[in-house]
Amino acid sequence: MKSLIDGYHRFREEGYGELAERLRALAEEQHPTKLLITCSDSRVLPDRIVSALPGDLFVIRNAGNIVPPIDECRNGDGGTLEYAVSVLKVRHIIVCGHSNCGAIKAMMHPEELEGLPMVRGWLAHAGLDTTPTRPEGARSLMRLSADELHAEELAEIDRLVERNVLTQLDHLRTHPYVAARLKRDELHLHGWVFDIPEGRIRAYDRGSGEFVEL
């Protein structure tokens, strides 16, 4: 805890001053125009990687940056999403996955979820374990040596991280308040992946169907 408390004191001494005016202006209400849905992973710093200021970003974080489809969305994130879209009327929703995501690795090794019923339930809840590429990927990995397996697994994680982002964008479209605003062109969806060691973001490009550097 000491590092957190020391960090707070550094914020009071060094960080608060430059934000004070903006924070005071936002004391009564917020009008963010972007909702960022990203992973709980401690290495992903949503505000910092886009240099956001207070009031810029509304954020949902959970394991695997998951948005369950409307029929399965009974958790707090569903309420947060509905609030962001229907009340705050954000103009953009960005689903941002990241390299080497633990939730994706859990998809590839479901046996490691033994004894973790909440995690298993969450990943299944979002329908991730039904994606057709995962079993194929898992089968192909079984033929490789340890080094090849590692390289292949990293590549497979990258591919599944991207696929997961697109799956969650599809799930978002099942939410009627999202669909209605998309139809009226009042809302736009974006898929991103944050590369942790490189500090770079790749964005989904509809034209090419690829993730390309932002």
Q: Nearest approach, Cβ of 133 to Zn ion (angstroms)? A: 18
**Total residues at interface with Zn ion (CB under 5 A):** 3
Q: What are phi and psi of 35, to 5 degrees?
A: -110, 125
| Closer Cβ to Zn ion, 41 or 156, answer by number | 41
Q: Nearest approach, Cβ of 123 to Zn ion (angstroms)? A: 11
CB atoms within 10 A of CB 165: 25
Query: CB within 8 A of 150, min separation 6: which ones?
Result: none
Taking alpha carbons only, the member of 62, 37, 38 closest to residue 119 is 62
Letters for 2-41 (x = contact with Zn ion by CB under 5 A, - = none) are: -------------------------------------x-x
Q: Is the dihedral of CA 115, 65, 81, 127 positive or negative?
A: negative
- Let me know if 97 is exposed, middle or buried by CB neighbors in 10 A (0-12, 13-18, 19+): buried
For residue 205, CA distances in Å to 128, 138, 156, 158 come to 22, 27, 20, 16
Q: Nearest approach, Cβ of 54 to Zn ion (angstroms)? A: 25
Q: Nearest approach, Cβ of 98 to Zn ion (angstroms)? A: 6
CB atoms within 10 A of CB 156: 21
For residue 39, CA distances in Å to 48, 123, 156, 161, 185 come to 14, 13, 18, 11, 27
101 counts as binding Zn ion under rule CB under 5 A: yes
Q: Nearest approach, Cβ of 106 to Zn ion (angstroms)? A: 10
Strands (E), 2-77: 34-39, 57-62
128 counts as binding Zn ion under rule CB under 5 A: no
| Closer Cβ to Zn ion, 17 or 121, answer by number | 121
Single out the segment in contact with Zn ion by CB under 5 A; choices: 74-82, 98-106, 123-131, 134-142: 98-106
Q: Nearest approach, Cβ of 81 to Zn ion (angstroms)? A: 18
Single out the segment in contact with Zn ion by CB under 5 A; choices: 93-101, 132-140, 141-149, 164-172: 93-101
| Closer Cβ to Zn ion, 41 or 70, answer by number | 41
| Closer Cβ to Zn ion, 164 or 178, answer by number | 164
Q: Which residues bind Zn ion (CB under 5 A)?
A: 39, 41, 101
